[in-house]
Structure 1
Amino acid sequence: MDSSPAQFFKDLASKNSSDAPLVCYAANMLSSNGMLQNENPLDYTFPLFLFQLIIILLTSRLTAFILKPLRQPRYISEILGGFILGPTLMGSVPAFTLTFFPLRSLLVIDSMASIGLVFFMFIVGVEIDPDVVRRVGRRSTLLTIVCLIGPVLIGVLAGIILHSRIQDGTQRGAFVTFLCGILCVSSFSMLARTLADIKLIASDIGRLVLSSAMITNGLAWVLMVFSTALAQSKGKALSAIWSVISGGVFSVVVYMAVRRAARWVQKRTPEGEEVAELHVCVILVGVMVAAFAADAIGTHAIFGAFVYGLAVPNGPLGELLIEKIGDFIEGLLLPLFFAVSGFRTNLYSIVDAGAVFLLLIVVIGAAITKVTGSVLAAFYMEMPFHDGISLGLLMNTKGIVELILLNIGWDKMVLRDQTFTILVIISVISTTLITPLINVAAKPSRRYVAYKRRTIRWWNPESELRMLICAHSSREVPSLISLLDISHPTKRSPFFVYALYLVELTGRASTLFVVNTNSSSSSSLESHRAAPNAGGAGFIRHQSESEHISHAFESYEQHAGGVSVQSLTAFSQYPSMHEDVIALSEDKHCALIILPFHKHQTIDGTMEVTHPAIRCLNKNVLAGASCSVGILIDRSLAGTGARAQRYAVALLFFGGADDREALAYADRLATHPGVALTVVRFLPCIGAGGSRRRQDRVVDVAGENDDECLAQFQANGGGEAEYVERMVGNAEETVAMLREMEGRYDLYIVGIGEGMASPLTAGLTEWSECEELGPIGDLLASPDFGSRASVLVLQRGKYREGSEEIEMSGGAVVLPMPAGSGK
């Protein structure tokens, strides 16, 4: 029994009508009267479809759960779920097929799957920014050409040679053209999600490969239209050319008409409000109109939906449409398409083992030519070798787009059952293997292995200090700008600040939306979208908030000297948000990350939790960042010092690497004319006389100790900083000394003291509420302490073993030590 109703009736048409079975439908077959009336619900169309949908969803979700440790994309689990239910496994059991997937029900599943596929391709089109194609530069063009030459040549030669063996009875020209398209295509949606997962979506490699993939996808669609038209016209090239031309005219007309209509809708929507429900309904109906028109002119319905989606402009309208239908389509209807693909994939249809080997060689050869071409292009563009490998592997990303093309080829009788099954299996295997290879070859940490000592202390004071300042709302911006201002950027010692607005993404997993605003050069927005859904009204609100933050930093940049600011907005889920922060800091070679505390001050002066997930974010950044990290506990820093026109700052020095990093940061504040800095060193004492205890000279891995760092600070002048020493015997005396300092300062700076065991703080960690701040930072931030001063806690960037350091103007470049090195 064939798995497709369309193919079934095609087979019947070629037989004698007297031999054809007669299928009768009763008028009341839609729904049953219930089991209490002794009726089987599975004998009726609607209950049967609901039960089939439950089986398909449960099978795909169970497969996804089993494959979760392997970190495979969702596409793999869903297509494997279709294999399980198809004729290869469960479908080979007659009782299972006749009971749960009878022939009369397949037409309903196929139709619903097609509807889901139409709207999914609409979503893919909305996600893509067509303006990227217009901005394609020389590098993207070069990468596209070298990645197309090899697959096209191999497709032509293999198609001519293999046609007579595996495609007997089909049109040869259509098969050759179709095979070229399959070998060239790169799944844009899966590629974007992969780049988002490995945090390369906003990198140079990410932009380069996405723009190239868009061009190769466009070519693959053209080849698909040409090959299917060639097959339907029995090899008439002129008819196929007219189909391509009509498809091109259709694309232009739809794009221009929908683009203008969508912009009209945007103009009629007040700023900050959602698009009217009527307009959304009309746009969604237009998807089906475009799909119908595309099918009517002989291309394909999903092609019309894809072009229609491309015409929807980026911004709130596109995000709202994705929010309305995205989860429903991808979570409920799209699995039906994978199930149908599984029904069509029948291992028992493979009768020629040599055909499997030959097609496997063809696919592997095309993949190798892509990698080779990417390496050569990377060499020409003076990119590292491993970046060329990464580009090649990323350009080989397959997925749902390839599966869609294969199903179109099967529907249009370009592919036979055996060829379809072989190519689907090869697609699944290649995707399974390429995904982990990409994660290894394009792992972000490999790109930053040369930049390992990125701290304030080891940064050349006369070079540009790069900082990443994060904010969760515009409320935090004034104090962050005040902290930046008293850090005293000058033209001689400039700062380059990346102001990152962090937004919680509540949509699907593997989703990242980054908006870059280069305020120093223009006010234009450049969007890199990996996948949907910042969410309609939420997106509008966050866009407005992002503009306020960007304008605040831009205003400060214009009025301050020695500061360059680039504002960015990152949409990410909280569990992976720290990865985005760390990846951006490494990509931009930042020496310091400033994070807001997870609590903010209310009107009555108490501290209230902003979002509990922010604390987890801060802890993860502290644990994973290779550069220095600071957490600002803000108690109106922007107002206290500004009212007095002078900030009173205290550096609390207990010793250790983190305190030395805090000292280096305070050294920059000391030169500011509006800052009165006091360095308070706490020293242990013994005996009734309170004499200073003799300490051993402790040298850390960087060859530093506290006395030398303080001596160097004083020798350099330390601005007009006051230096005092306080003798304390235990933690109780430390707390008492800190209480004596209440009310004197606007800002405390202290190191976290990670890994430090000091008698001066012994026992404080047992009562810590926020251990990530360190014992002293937690004490100063505690509401029980009663201080009204803001607190900045710092952690020095982590050193890595097995490296030697070479001083550079912007810090230290760390190179791997050769094996057997004596140093």
Structure 2
Amino acid sequence: MDCSMTSSILSANYNTILFEFGIILVTSKVLHALLRKVYQPRVFSDLLLGIVLAQFRVLSLTNAINLVFGKIGGFVFAPYLFALGVEMDPGTLLDAPTADAAVAYAGILSTSVLVTLFHMPLMQATSGVVHERSLRSFLGLAAVLANTASPVLTRLATDLKIAKTAVGRLAVGAGLASDMVTTMLIAVGSMIWRDAGVVDSPIVQPVLTAAVLVVVVVSAFVSRAMAEWVGGRNPEGRRMRGFDLSLVALAAAALCWLGSALRLDVNMAAFLVGLAFPSQGRVSRLLVSKTNFVLSSLVLPLYVCHVCLSLRQTTDDVEVAGLGRVEGFRAFVMELPFPWWKVLFVTVMGTLGKLTGCAAAGLLRGLGWLEALALGMLLNVKGYFHIYCAQAAFDAGIITDKSFMAIIFMVALNVAVTPMVGVGIASWARRSVQWRLMGLQHHDPSTELRLVVGLHGPQDVPTLAYLMEALRGGPGGGDLAAYAVDMVQLTDQTAAAIVRGGGFDGVTVVDEEVSEMRRLIGEALDAYQAEAGEGVKVRRLLALSSFQDMHGDICICAEDAMAALVLLPFHKAQRLDGTMDAGHFGFRLANQKVLQLAPCSVAVVVDRGLAHLGHREAQAQVVVVFIGGADDREALTLAALMSRHPGVRLTALRVVQNATAQARARARTSLFETKAATTGRGGGGGGGGPAASSALGQEEAQMQVDDKFFAEFYRKHVAGGKHGMGYLEKHVADGAELVAVLRGLQAEYRLFVVGRGRDRSSVLTEGLDEWAECLELGPVGDILASSDFSNTASVLIVQQYDAKKHYKVIDEEFMPL
């Protein structure tokens, strides 16, 4: 009878615990969904919920949390630190410091100096922030304040879309470096000051430390061998076997246990073992993804609530505050006078330390004052690791209860404020983009060139890689960031083969045809990046949508990346006999919509063996055709960038009107003027007069801009002879003679660069579009892309970003420049 009653009581307790845990998890999820609308990260919703529960003293919930986490509390944070270690690459510490690392080191150094300057008020045994006056507490506080919560910062940068801004990229890279260095210092400190209070012989500590290092080295070999074995059993594109991934996780857990058996803290052992794991590869990505999903969904909300509910005072502190002890009741920290000065002191010291070093490094990198300060504020963001450090320091007696509470509130305040800084950076970036014309003509050659490259399949990579390399000026040229977008149609078959969270895009298409195509594209891009060197960064993206909506993915990518140019393959491909096939209507539709809606300049490449230019010929013969108009000016700018490549021999061809064409142009002008005058005298019948006058005015203004632009181009690139650029000038009468001139050049040149010619108003191209097959290429581009033009000459049709359409202005005078 007694046994049955005990069993029922335990069962009721477990049911209560599960019910209360469910309430915490559901409430945390709902709270996060609400706060995410104001860009608050998950850690803030968890902290807010824990503080509220602690404030209202939910005693049964406290008992339930402590009943579970009192037994396993020392181990729950180990998976988090393991996943954090896997995402980091310690090999970067052996390389020359990059700009990201320099900013991170500056922030760590300045924070450490500030802690040193204020060590006296910090180390007061009675009223200071740190209760224990020792070297380990001093160094631990400096490392924790210098630490950046890189997972929180990366998520904020992604949500706020600032990861591609100058400040955002620098902050994300520096945050990862800062997090790695400071966490490694804390792990090393835990090896040096392990088991405080336990007296060992002088030989024990070095032996244990050496044994831990051996475990870390063994972890590196074991993890890489297992990753290769599991990767061979589970090729890219197929669903990962759960058993194989479980084996890797089990091996990692065994290595962590081995480190903890050597009297190293299990959480720090997990971080060191994770650091030894390869940071790249499908196995590591999936392991981190699955671990983080379980942590964010189940473990971390309960852990944060456990930490917040453990904010109690000792008997001495309660009596000092004048709060008598009540039988069966333990007073909460919330009942004591709130330690505002500690919260303020720790917050200000940590923030000033980061601001001083990171802002100074940012200024040296060329950032403005506001951007440099924003960089320091972003790198000061705190997270789950700081909560763990506060709990560990409290359990070790390094800090008091009041300091424990002060640090928890400091983390909450810091995490709440940081997204506001990110919102400010995002608004600055959007304003700068809004008032800046995107395109090659307005690109600063001294800055990084950003391209969005659409790919139909692996056959497009060599051609577009050649164009990218030509645009950056060849080996040793400028920096290039290419966003390679795999254009995959979303069908019922591919929709059924999507696995969420399985790859670098957030989704993986396990359809064999698609996965094989993407694998080949990835191999080709990796080969290009390895050959191009450090100046080129290629990022893979996936546009998985219907052809009706595919342009949206490309345009959003171009806007987020602040790209200057979108490179797209032509929808037709060359057959073996040299003619062009019928093409894919879906890709043509996507190209048409990108040309219409892109937030930057666009270029469509018609490939006729362009990929072989860099391999077969010492000098690739390229000609840029200039007739007039904004698109031709953009084509001329693109050609000027290509001329810096040592393997490109560029010729500028200017097509001008001969006497016959000039007479036709004067006759057309006289006809428009007569029509305008007649309509004006007739009282505005039909409105043809003002329209004709406006067209004439725009044509004259366009010709003046063309003449001025080409004269400047000639002075810089042709007359100077810096890049050995050639020059041709052809006088033609009409479109027929223009086509004849171009046909005469097709055997001599391997690439034609020409503008689309939307706003071109020239008698030389009149009537050409009447027979056009692909109007989206423009009259000249359509002729060059037709099957009967050439079998060997590729074509690049360029369209300049239409700023007037974007800003909805009518006159150049009112352009926001």
Interval of TM-score (by shorter of Structure 1 and Structure 2): 0.5 to 0.7
User: 1:431 and 1:221 mapped to 2: Cα distance?
Assistant: 24
Establish whether residue 406 from structure 1 lines up as the match of residue 366 from structure 2.
no
Whether contact under 8 Å (1:387, 1:442) holds in the other structure is no
Q: Is the 8 A contact 2:570 2:607 kept in 1?
A: no
Structure 1 residue 400 displacement after superposition: 1.3
How far has the Cα of 1:570 moved from its partner?
A: 1.6
Superposed displacement of residue 227, structure 1: 7.7
Which of these residues, 410, 415, 426, is aligned with residue 410 of structure 2?
Answer: 426
1:638 and 2:610 equivalent?
Answer: yes
Where does residue 280 of structure 2 map in the other structure? 315
- Given candidates 318, 342, 353, the residue that maps to 2:337 is 353
Shift of 1:330: 3.0
Q: Distance in 1 between matches of 2:348 and 2:19?
A: 40
Which residue of 2 is the match for residue 521 of structure 1?
none
TM-score (norm 1): 0.64
Give the superposition deviation at 1:250: 5.2
Bigger share in helix: 2
Kindly provide the amino acid, as one letter, of the partner of residue 403 in structure 1.
I
Q: How far apart are 1:122 and its partner, in Å?
A: 1.1
CA distance in 2, matches of 1:390, 1:572: 28
Secondary structure of 1:500 counterpart: strand
* In the alignment, structure 1 residue 264 sits paired with structure 2 residue 229: no
Where do 1:197-212 residues align within 5 Å? 197-199=162-164, 207-208=173-174, 210-212=176-178
What is the letter of the counterpart of residue 355 of structure 1?
P
- Distance, in Å, in 2 between the alignment partners of 1:201 and 1:298 is 42
Residues 755 and 798, structure 2, Cα contact 8 Å, conserved in 1: yes
Superposition deviation, residue 131 in structure 1: 1.2
Secondary structure (helix, strand or coil) at the match of 2:123 reads helix
Structure 2 residue matching 1:570: 3-state secondary structure: strand
Runs of 5+ in structure 1 lacking a partner?
A: 1-21, 32-42, 514-531, 558-563, 587-591, 729-733, 800-816, 818-822
Write out per-residue CA displacement over residues 557-616 of structure 1, whole angstroms, 9 at most, x where no aligned residue.
7xxxxxx99442324576998787678778xxxxx5342259575985322546999999
Contact 1:466 1:497 in 2 (8 A): yes
Q: Which residue of 1 aligns with 2:800?
A: 795
The Cα offsets for residues 30-53 of structure 1, whole Å up to 9 and x where unpaired, read as 87xxxxxxxxxxx363x6565445
CA contact (8 A) 2:623 2:650 kept: no
2:304 to 315, 338, 361: 338
Shift of 1:255: 1.0
User: Do the aligned residues in 2 keep the contact of 1:320 with 1:535 (CA within 8 Å)?
Assistant: no
The Cα shift of 1:193 comes to 4.4
Match of 1:662 among 617, 635, 641: 635
Distance 1:267 1:690, change over 3 A: same
Aligned-pair distance for 1:429? 0.5
- Counterpart amino acid of residue 525 in structure 2: I
**One-letter code of the match for 1:630?**
V
Residues 1:265 and 1:425: Cα distance change in structure 2 (over 3 Å): same
Change (3 A) 1:105 1:266: closer
Q: How does 1:766-777 map to 2 (within 5 A)?
A: none
Q: What does 1:117-156 correspond to in 2, within 5 Å?
A: 117-135=77-95, 137=97, 139=102, 143-155=107-119
Name the counterpart of 2:23.
55
Q: 1:549 aligns with which of 505, 521, 525?
A: 525
Question: CA 1:68 to 1:267, structure 2 compared with 1: closer, same or farther past 3 Å?
Answer: closer
Contact 2:359/2:372, CA 8 A, preserved across alignment: yes
Secondary structure of the residue that 2:124 maps to in structure 1? helix
The structure-2 alpha-carbon separation of the partners of 1:692 and 1:512, relative to structure 1 and needing over 3 Å to count, comes to: farther
Letter matched to residue 54 of structure 2: P
Does residue 498 in structure 1 map to residue 480 in structure 2?
yes
Tell me the distance in 2 between the aligned counterparts of 1:25 and 1:242.
Answer: 54
Match of 2:54 in 1: 87
* Residue 756 (structure 1) shift: 9.3
Change in CA separation of 1:408 and 1:685 when aligned onto 2, cut-off 3 Å: farther
Deviations 1:187-224 (A, max 9, x none): 24334545665335995665455434422233344556
Match of 2:354 among 357, 367, 370: 370
Structure 1 residue 149 displacement after superposition? 1.8
| Alpha-carbon spacing, 1:577–1:26, altered in 2? closer, same or farther (3 Å) | farther
Counterparts of residues 372-771 of structure 1 (less than 5 Å)? 372-375=356-359, 389-390=373-374, 392-412=376-396, 414-437=398-421, 440=424, 445=429, 468=451, 470=453, 472=455, 474-481=458-465, 483=467, 496=478, 498=480, 500=482, 502=484, 545-552=521-528, 566-571=535-540, 593-597=565-569, 601=573, 605-607=582-584, 609=586, 622-623=598-599, 629-634=601-606, 636=608, 638=610, 651=625, 653=627, 656-665=629-638, 679=655, 696=696, 698=698, 705-709=705-709, 719=726, 721=728, 723=730, 751=755
Contact 1:685 1:691 in 2 (8 A): no
Alignment of 1:243-322 (within 5 A): 248-249=209-210, 251-266=212-227, 268=229, 273-274=234-235, 280-316=245-281, 317-322=283-288
- Mapped to 2, the partners of 1:322 and 1:598 lie a distance apart of 39
Over 3 Å counting, the alpha-carbon distance change for 1:254 and 1:684 in structure 2 is farther
CA distance in 1, matches of 2:596, 2:337: 55
For residue 339 of structure 2, give the secondary structure of its aligned residue in structure 1: helix
Cα distance in 1 for partners of 2:539, 2:669 equals 53
Once residues 18 and 559 of structure 2 are traced to their aligned partners in structure 1, the CA distance between those partners, rounded to angstroms, is 45
Task: Tell me the residue number matched to 2:148.
Answer: 186
Contact 1:648 1:744 in 2 (8 A): no
Specify the SS of the correspondent of 2:386: helix
Q: Out of 327, 333, 336, which is 2:293 matched to?
A: 327
- Aligned equivalents of 2:377 and 2:467: distance in 1? 44
Structure 2 alignment gaps of length 5 or more = 313-330, 488-497, 544-551, 576-580, 674-694, 720-724, 805-815
Q: Under a length normalisation based on structure 2, what TM-score does the superposition of the two structures give?
A: 0.65
Q: Which residue number in structure 2 is paired with residue 529 of structure 1?
A: none
Task: Say whether the 8 Å CA contact 2:80–2:291 is kept in structure 1.
Answer: no
Compute the displacement of 1:402 (Å). Answer: 0.4
The AA in structure 1 aligned to 2:114 is G
Task: Tell me the residue number matched to 1:4.
Answer: none
Q: What's the % identity of the aligned pairs?
A: 18
**AA at the equivalent of 1:793:** V
Q: 1:300 to 1:747 in 2, by over 3 A?
A: same
The answer (yes or no) to whether the contact 1:595–1:631 under 8 Å persists in 2 is yes
| AA in 2 matched with 1:262 | S
Q: Higher mean Cα deviation, 708-717 or 658-667?
A: 708-717
Find the aligned partners of 2:272 and 2:499 in 1 and give their Cα distance.
Answer: 24
CA contact (8 A) 2:595 2:799 kept: no
Matched AA of 1:593:
L
Match of 2:123 in 1: 159
Contact kept in structure 1, 2:571 and 2:587, CA below 8 Å: yes
The residue type paired with residue 584 of structure 2 is: M
1:211 alignment partner AA: A
Q: Judge conservation of contact 1:632–1:791 (CA < 8 Å) in 2.
A: yes
Q: Distance in 2 between matches of 1:62 and 1:155?
A: 42
Residue 72 in 1 paired to residue 36 in 2? no
Instruction: After TM superposition, give the deviation of residue 59 of structure 1 in Å.
Output: 1.9
CA contact (8 A) 2:50 2:309 kept: yes
Q: AA paired with 2:800?
A: Q
